[in-house]
Chains A and B, each alone.
Chain A
């Protein structure tokens, strides 16, 4: 069974707090790891696609790291704002898998209180 696990399931922080959450995935046959941000009543929006072990990507206050050998990725949000409230999804793409077949985790739901 190919599982992608995300933790925690939900997170409540105060405005200005920095936070991070985890995505775990099978380390074998790794191809790419995708992060998406999904606000309520909107479409999921791509944040990062990461392919290289040790890679770190940044977009504004959000950054992500990747460890393909141990099978995890961290997403960091610095100085959380209420507009960061959303569900953050990661998805694993495996080598040798079917083309475009992303296996998603259940997501981490972040709520930022003003």
Chain B
């Protein structure tokens, strides 16, 4: 157990649906991340939040909308997804806020949500 939980673990949705993925950590971390892993591809960073502010958006389509209401919770809102968005979505957190000029600490990952878009 890493201390990072994700719900749901599996999700099947149609292209017209709206759903949300949830991530929760009570490790006292101040930075949180969303990653995507598609088949045969490496983990790809989608979004980074530090102290509840978005600091990175890696050219992710607007049909993915993150939300970080507080330092313990992170959401990924999904709408009008495409079949190619089917993937494993991982959430992670790291021990402190991201400070310019300093490398990040190790990241603690959740177990992921397996998303299938039909």
Report chain B residues within 8 Å CB of A13: none
A71 interface hit (Cβ, 8 Å): no
A62 interface hit (Cβ, 8 Å): no
Query: In chain B, what residue has the closest Cβ to A93?
Result: B103
**B contacts with A, residue count (CB < 8 A):** 30
The answer, among B31, B56, B94, for a CB contact under 8 Å with A98, is B56
C-alpha gap A32/B40 in the complex (Å)? 24
Minimum CB–CB distance from A101 to chain B (whole Å) comes to 6
Minimum CB–CB distance from B97 to chain A (whole Å) comes to 9
Q: Which residues of A contact B (CB under 8 A)?
A: 4, 31-32, 34, 36, 41-46, 49, 51, 89, 91, 93, 98-107
Minimum CB–CB distance from B35 to chain A (whole Å) comes to 8
Candidate in A32, A51, A99 with the most chain B CB atoms within 10 angstroms: A99
Known: A100-B55, A100-B98, A101-B56. A42 touches B107 (CB 8 A): no
